[in-house]
Amino acid sequence: MSRSPFRAIVVALALLLPTTTVPAQLIQIKTVPVAQGDQFDIFPSRNLAMAGVSIALEDRLLDPFVNPATGARLRGGVVAGAPGVFSVSNDAGGGRTLPVSLLTRSRSWFGGLSLALQEIDGARRLTPNRFGITELSTVGPAFPDPPPRRSHGNRFAFGLLGTSFENAGLSLGASVHWAELNAVDGVEHLYAESVDLAQFGHIVDARLGLLKQWAGDRSLGATLVHNRVDMTHDVSYLDWFWDPAQQRVVPQPRLEHNDDRTLTWGAHLEYDQPIPGSQWRAGARLTANVASHPKIPNYEIMNIPRDPGRTHAYDLGLGFARIENRTTVGIDAIFEPIWSHTWADAAAPIETTGGATLAAGARTIENWFRFANAIVRLGVTQEHPVDASDAVVAMQFGLAVRSISYRLEQVDHVQGTERQQRESWREWMPTWGLRWETPRLTIGYRGSITTGTGRPGVATDGFTRDFAVAQSTVLVAPSGPLTLAGVSVVSHQLSISLPIH
């Protein structure tokens, strides 16, 4: 893969990497099939084991965290915990999360609070360099050992407050979700040539929700979202130089400071109602995101400083659900058209290959991405009463398939070249779960495995250098084609909820 298209892929990959901090309504953008753990699935849910089917099927535990106005559907209150773990195969990462949530309602008011602590494990890392050496400790004292793998802690907090107007069938709610992050899974692979990486920053997500309910079990939900990503990456490198006096290559440390800034505004509409004369419900969804990227980090392979961008992303979805004789079936089908425009601008005047001069601030490279993504989710729940008691055991299964397809058009104003490229792949996620429910206690388990993703790299001189999806401070083209070491992400989550009357 030549320098220009790889550079474009790298820049676009970084657009919205950490913005999936809350479920739904923030549309994920990926230009390579990089594997990431379910780091942000921290809220309780009844339907995630059904592959997350949601358009025509309500989830009274999860919905208030998505649209705060849906807290009006609470019949009382609930205290819930949903501890979870995930791991990436090939020793490529993992993590653990311990969240506790409270949802409550009193007359016309309702509210919620959620707190979570999380630990993210570092992945097994090699340290490649221009000499084709991956295990530095085997070379000699001039090649120091890389730092040991470490775990980093994150903290999350969520607050919700709303009120309902019973006579009008109207509810209003507002929520704020804050995350202090010292590790986002997968980011270290974006700096695969580094010897150490320190991440720190925060994400803030504010939402204003409305819920209108009519007779006949019809409802319309609307949400306004503002999401702000403010992260910093301090990356440590070893630059290698030939020392004639010692007659060997010696390292020199270098620290690179990268900022990651993304601002997203979003709007979401969702309507559902029963289908007359049947046991089915139907729903429709429309989501719009407008994101600006004031600063995209200078990842490895290609370093493009001063690289802003803009993204317009949309979700168009239809859903169907049926609940009959203790069997629940749900289907979601979503189409995602996305347009993304990124560019690099010149910090100083620069001469083009044609002899012209681009002024400082002029765009040196422009990338246009056109996505036509699709998501299909299928889920089923089968409940079984336990003898004559009030207990119910439910088995849940689901399958989600995400198809990503995009076209890249790139113009390099310095080299005077234009390129086009098409990429596509599919990600598969089967889910399963088991729930034991009584009037006083519910205990559930959810598992999932995601395939079709990997940790990308670059093939070079017989080695597969674990550059991953990333970018570098070395302004040279990759020495080989982009490769993909396939991995799978396995997640397990245990949920416990206690009703409050």
d(CA 431, CA 90): 21
d(CA 253, CA 192): 16
Going from N- to C-terminal start, the domains of the chain cover: 3-500
Which two structure tokens, joined as six digits, stand for 193? Answer: 């040539």
* pLDDT score recorded for residue 71: 93
Provide DSSP, 54-116: -SSS--TTTHHHHSGGGGGG-SSEEEEE--EEEEETTT--EEEEEEEEEEEEETTEEEEEEEE
Full-model pTM = 0.83
Tell me the percentage of the chain whose pLDDT exceeds 90: 49
d(CA 493, CA 446): 5
* pLDDT score recorded for residue 125: 59
* pLDDT score recorded for residue 148: 62
Topology (CATH level 3) of domain 3-500: Porin (2.40.160)
* pLDDT score recorded for residue 232: 92
Q: What is the pLDDT of residues 91-145, one digit of tens each?
A: 878 899 999 999 999 889 999 999 999 999 877 655 444 444 444 444 444 445 5
DSSP state of 34: B
Number of residues that this document lists for the chain: 501
Single-letter amino acid, residue 126: L
Q: How, if at all, do strands 94-106 and 417-437 pair?
A: unpaired
Distances, alpha carbon 395 to alpha carbons 263, 267, 380, 382, 384, in Å: 40, 34, 8, 5, 8
| Beta strand spans in 346-362 (E) | 350-351, 357-358
> Quick one: average pLDDT of 291-310?
71
pLDDT confidence of 371, banded at 50, 70, 90? very high
> Quick one: average pLDDT of 469-474?
26
Question: Under a CB-based contact definition with an 8 Å cutoff, are residues 312 and 338 in contact?
Answer: yes
> Quick one: average pLDDT of 449-475?
47
> Quick one: average pLDDT of 52-71?
93
Output helix, strand, coil percentages for the chain, rounded to the nearest 5.
5, 60, 35
**Looking at 184-198, 238-252, 397-411, 447-461, which range is the least confident one?**
447-461
* pLDDT score recorded for residue 138: 40
Supply the mean pLDDT for the chain: 82
- Tell me: pLDDT of 383 over 90: yes
With a CB cutoff of 8 Å and minimum separation 6, the contacts of 139 are 133
Torsion 300-409-341-18 (CA) sign: negative
Bigger pLDDT: 33 or 204?
Answer: 204
> Quick one: average pLDDT of 384-409?
90
Q: What is the pLDDT of residues 157-182, one digit of tens each?
A: 999 999 999 899 999 999 999 999 99
> Quick one: average pLDDT of 2-21?
46
**Looking at 25-29, 223-227, 405-409, which range is the least confident one?**
25-29
Which two structure tokens, joined as six digits, stand for 391? Answer: 């207990």
* pLDDT score recorded for residue 142: 43
> Quick one: average pLDDT of 253-262?
88
pLDDT confidence of 53, banded at 50, 70, 90? very high
pLDDT confidence of 8, banded at 50, 70, 90? very low
DSSP state of 367: E
Provide DSSP, 379-395: EEEEEEE-TTSS-EEEE
d(CA 22, CA 128): 35
CB burial of residue 491 (10 Å; 0-12, 13-18, 19+): buried
pLDDT confidence of 479, banded at 50, 70, 90? very low
Q: What is the pLDDT of residues 202-257, one digit of tens each?
A: 999 999 999 999 999 999 999 999 999 999 999 888 888 888 888 888 888 989 88
pLDDT confidence of 1, banded at 50, 70, 90? very low
